[in-house]
Chain A
Amino acid sequence: MGKHYSAWEVFKRGLTHQRGWGPAWRSPKPKARYDVVIVGGGGHGLATAYYLAKTYGIRNVAVLEKGWLGGGNTGRNTTVVRSNYYYKASADLYDHALKLYEGLSRDLNYNVMFSQRGMITVAHSRHDLEAAARWAGAMQLNGVDAEMLTREQVARLAPALDVSPRARYPVWGGLRQRRAGTARHDAVAWGFARAADRLGVDIIQNCEVEQFIRSADGRVIGVQTNRGRIEAGKTAMTVAGHSSVLAEKAGFRLPVTSYALQAFVSEPLKPVLDTVVLSLATGMYVSQSDKGGLVIGGGLDLYPSYAQRGNLPTVQNVIGALAEQYPSLGRVRLARQWAGIVDVTPDSSPLIGRTPVDGLYLNCGWGTGGFKAIPVGGTVLAHHLATDEPHPLARPFGLDRFQTGALIDEAAASGIAH
């Protein structure tokens, strides 16, 4: 059991040169059997384990991660948290996540550095502005905060943005969600890992699932891994971009295509931007991290990929948009560039709940927006695993919607064309 983190503890440890903190979580050997095995040690998997232990008292749980914790999309995203979705089902889901983020540092006893610096979606034409107004109206009806901004207000909030009449992307106004913001992505993974570990969850890294173990009637009763056979009462997969690969091993297909989504960080700068700004015209969005680097994202590399690296045309589009819209940043150098493999569904909404195989449960399909949903993804999957009933928030997001036709088409709400 780790120490409770507090200012007092930091002071006390200071007297002995901050030595002896010990690891934040154990690295146990896998046991032969668990009540629940969660495949995938990213944010969603770790959050699922945490809420299983905390809310439902199910502590005989293992999280299996083939690499290292948060080494996939949890450590590769652009850290934005928001709930500006169009449909009620999505708004309820993502706003629940946002509310959990608001109390997450205290809940986990781990500073996830959640900063509600707000997010502005910039409209560049009359049509953009009308779409933004419709969007803001829908958000307000869904009980999510939203306000329209004039061009002057946008200029005041993002002084570096080119709002001049001669701009290639003229600014007509915008849409603001004040409660949106950023969180430190690694801290979210580590915080959930530490909190789950303290409740007795086994986190097992470098453990890759090779096969599912099936009973005579076809039910999944465990997994065969490179560290041996592990039996499970229930098995959950939270592997984002690799969901189709695991589903194939279990013998079914998913309405998912995996794409590379790139992100960029610039060299550290003095404070220039204290909010998140997304452009409806280019899909490029940017914020500034606490270290001073600009964190930049944009559209997908639009062909299926598992490569975890993007290609140059998308780099050109995204960085070109930044240089065009923020002329003063045009000569800033990039420090890093990378890609994560995101699992995009036909309606850009997640898949949560049962799979066609008994004993195997699923949380995937968050596409380009999984990070912001980590606390709610964990909450609803834990509920389904514990009670065998879908959580009310997750009920609309089952796999069955592709047969019933009740799609939740949020393609526009992500603000990125895909």
Chain B
Amino acid sequence: MLLISCPWCGARAESEFRCGGQSHIARPGPPETVSDAEWSAYLFERLNPKGLHRERWVHAYGCGRWFNVARDTVTHQILETYLMTEAGQAQADQP
């Protein structure tokens, strides 16, 4: 069971949350300049890293708000949680 620190509610059990996938994806634009390949990459392609992953979570059975989580996809260790408007501090270990 993951223990996730919601920035508003504090540490709560994983079962209160839903993961919304990769965070910090910028929408390309303006629309008339975006190629099919760029649009496809924006919609579908994901980093899916083995290691540090920045992702969005929502506190579905709590305050209902979205926030960012930096989490390791191998150990599941959560390195930090931070607000949607922030960039985050955690860095991936250099191999």
Q: Which residues of A are in contact with B by a Cβ distance under 8 Å?
A: 242, 244-245, 248, 253-258, 302-307, 311-313, 346, 402-403
Q: Which listed residue (B13, B43, B48) contacts A258, Cβ 8 A?
A: B48
Is A256's CB under 8 angstroms from B48's CB? yes
How many interface residues does B have (CB within 8 Å)? Answer: 27
Is A311's CB under 8 angstroms from B40's CB? no
For the complex with contacts A255-B40, A346-B44, 4 further pairs of A-B residues with Cβ separation under 8 Å are: A254-B46, A303-B71, A304-B48, A312-B1
Q: Does B26 contact A (CB under 8 A)?
A: no
Q: Which residues of B are in contact with A by a Cβ distance under 8 Å?
A: 1-2, 13-15, 18-19, 21, 36-37, 40-41, 43-50, 53, 55, 71, 73-76
Is B76's CB under 8 angstroms from A307's CB? yes
Is A304's CB under 8 angstroms from B55's CB? yes
Is A242's CB under 8 angstroms from B2's CB? no
Task: Give CA–CA (A254, B46) in the complex, Å.
Answer: 6
Is A313's CB under 8 angstroms from B76's CB? no
> Chain B: interface secondary structure?
mixed
Is A244's CB under 8 angstroms from B73's CB? no
Chain B residues contacting A255 (CB-CB under 8 Å) are: 40, 44-46
Chain A residues contacting B21 (CB-CB under 8 Å) are: 257, 304
Chain B residues contacting A258 (CB-CB under 8 Å) are: 48, 50, 73
Is A313's CB under 8 angstroms from B15's CB? yes
Given A304-B73, A311-B2: A242 touches B50 (CB 8 Å cut-off):
yes
Chain B residues contacting A306 (CB-CB under 8 Å) are: 50, 73-74
Chain B residues contacting A305 (CB-CB under 8 Å) are: 73-74, 76
Is A402's CB under 8 angstroms from B15's CB? no
Is B14's CB under 8 angstroms from A311's CB? yes
Q: Which listed residue (B1, B15, B48, B76) contacts A254, Cβ 8 A?
A: B48
